């Protein structure tokens, strides 16, 4: 692998790990926010205004979309082998490359569409009416665009890696160092 490819792969791993960490931090923030709301509601009859809206519009969006690139790089997305397990190695390789290409195209198109929608909502200044204030939700539209954009770049890296493994005659794809931690998702 040449130096430029190594640098690009390392940058992708850093970006996907960072996005994964942001998703994890949002998960923790969501739990703390909900806990505080339940505690204040139960003890003092003073719920935090906008908890439902903030959780569903901010935290859950980040938790759902930010980890996609790390999951793609680590090959931890759902992969069903019911129809391919009895195929020859050559056909499985071809099917794997085809599936990775479809994944790349799908994530790229979703990222493009999400980016266009985010731009539209940003210009519009989209907000949600909460009881005592307006909650701007246009920034959260960019989370999906960034998450799928990073996942599309990760899919490109995985597709190139898949083709490289096939061209160099690797019998099976080499185990990957996960972008989200050592041996994450490894099944023996």
CB 178 within 8 A of CB 76: yes
Residue 116 is assigned to a structural domain of this protein: yes
Domain membership flag for residue 185: no
User: Exposure pattern of 139-162 as b/e (b: 16+ CB <10 Å)?
Assistant: ebbbbbbbbbbbbbbbbbbbbbbb
3-class SS at 70?
A: helix
Domain around 71: 3-167
Q: Bridge partners of 135?
A: 128
Whether 174 is covered by a domain: the verdict is no
Return d(Cα 181, Cα 188) in angstroms, integer.
17
Q: What are phi and psi of 10, to 5 degrees?
A: -65, -45
Establish if 41 belongs to a structural domain. Answer: yes
- The DSSP code for 130 is E
What pLDDT does 24 receive?
Answer: 97
Task: Enumerate residues 6+ apart whose C-beta is below 8 A from 8.
Answer: 157
Tell whether 25 is covered by a domain. Answer: yes
| SS3 (DSSP) at 135 | strand
Question: Cα dihedral sign for 126, 128, 129, 132?
Answer: negative
Positions of the chain with pLDDT under 70: 1, 169-188
- The angle at the Cα of 114, spanning 49 to 136, to the nearest 5 degrees, equals 25
Per-residue confidence (pLDDT) for residue 170, from 0 to 100: 58
Residue 81 lies in a domain: yes
Nearest to 181 by CA among 21, 4, 11, 8: 21
Residue 184 maps to a domain: no
Domain count, the chain: 1
Is residue 180 one of the residues assigned to a domain?
A: no
Q: Which residues are within 8 A (CB) of 71 and not within 5 positions of it... i.e. 6 or more apart?
A: 77, 151, 180
């Amino acid at each position: 692998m040449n130096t430029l490819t190594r640098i690009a792969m390392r940058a992708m791993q850093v970006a996907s790990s960072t996005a994964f960490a942001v998703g994890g931090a949002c998960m923790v923030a969501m739990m703390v926010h909900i806990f505080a709301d339940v505690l204040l509601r139960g003890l003092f009859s003073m719920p935090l205004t906008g908890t439902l809206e903030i959780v569903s519009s901010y935290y859950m969006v980040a938790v759902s979309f930010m980890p996609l690139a790390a999951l793609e790089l680590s090959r931890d997305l759902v992969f069903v082998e019911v129809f391919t397990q009895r195929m020859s190695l050559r056909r499985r390789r071809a099917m794997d490359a085809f599936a990775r290409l479809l994944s790349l195209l799908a994530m790229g198109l979703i990222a493009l569409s999400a980016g266009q929608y985010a731009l539209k909502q940003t210009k519009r200044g989209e907000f949600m009416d909460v009881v005592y204030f307006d909650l701007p939700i246009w920034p959260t539209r960019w989370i999906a665009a960034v998450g799928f954009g990073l996942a599309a770049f990760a899919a490109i890296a995985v597709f190139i890696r898949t083709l490289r493994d096939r061209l160099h005659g690797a019998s099976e794809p080499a185990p990957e160092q996960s972008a989200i931690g050592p041996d994450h998702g490894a099944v023996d």
